Amino acid sequence: MLRAARERAGLSQSQLGAATGIRRAYVHKLENSERCPSLVVAKALCGALTLSEDDANLLLSCAVDDAGRSHPARAAA
């Protein structure tokens, strides 16, 4: 779903990474289900891709809220 949404938006993996502040390699891993996004990254992807409500809900349901950019330790820093 993520790859299809990116392609519909006319963005390369690099462009999507730049728009969301993540690396192209991470976009690749997300598209290939090798990683789950943090909640912060999932929300950034939803915004950058202007996803439908259904697609946004699907992406957000896959997000991990205690890892990566969403980890509570980052908020304390």
pLDDT in tens, 21-40: 999 999 999 999 999 899 99
Is 0.75 surpassed by the pTM of this model? yes
* Residue positions counted in the chain: 77
pLDDT of residue 64: 87
* Residues in a beta bridge with 13: none
**Cβ atoms < 10 Å from Cβ of 45:** 25
